[in-house]
């Protein structure tokens, strides 16, 4: 019985350390959420729903990830869209105006590159 208890100590210690390491990240997430909500209330950014409607209209596909970052005093939505065929599009959108600032598309694995024939 003692041997069994000792064999659980290392995995339990690792689990507890992992949970402790995750706690600060969760606090940051809460602060990020509060900052985003405050920016919306103050009219600094458009609602996410407005941005997503525009993205869904202009870049059809499945929205995989959304981030809201502050870059040099400007709020930017970064949105990843998985398109039919497997390519991934990353959009940078001005959160105040909804203007697309840039986009990058990464082809699906195994898909031909631009100008390449199969």
Q: In what order do the strands lie in the sheet with 62-71?
A: 62-71, 74-82, 88-94, 100-106
Number of domains in the chain: 2
Q: Are residues 50 and 38 in the same domain?
A: no
Q: Which pLDDT band, with edges at 50, 70 and 90, does 112 fall under?
A: low
73 φψ region: left (φ > 0), alpha (ψ -120 to 50), beta (else): left
Residues 33 and 51 reside in one and the same domain: no
30/83 same-domain check? no
Question: Is residue 15 domain-shared with residue 37, that is, in the same domain?
Answer: yes
32 and 56 co-located in one domain? no
Span 57-68, pLDDT tens digits: 999 999 999 999
What's the domain range around 19?
Answer: 1-42
Q: Is residue 118 part of a domain?
A: no
Question: How much of the chain, in percent, has pLDDT values that exceed 90?
Answer: 53
List, for residues 61-104, the tens digit of each pLDDT value: 999 999 999 989 899 999 999 998 899 999 999 999 999 999 99
């Amino acid at each position: 019985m003692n041997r069994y208890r000792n064999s659980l100590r290392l995995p339990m210690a690792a689990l507890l350390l992992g949970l402790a390491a995750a706690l600060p990240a969760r606090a940051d997430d809460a602060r990020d959420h509060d900052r985003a909500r405050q920016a919306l209330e103050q009219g600094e950014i458009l609602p996410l729903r407005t941005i997503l409607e525009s993205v869904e209209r202009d870049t059809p596909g499945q929205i995989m990830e959304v981030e809201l970052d502050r870059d040099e005093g400007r709020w930017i939505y970064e949105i990843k869209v998985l398109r039919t065929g497997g390519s991934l599009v990353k959009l940078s959108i001005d959160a105040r105006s909804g203007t697309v600032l840039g986009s990058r598309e990464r082809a699906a694995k195994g898909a031909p590159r631009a100008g390449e024939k199969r």
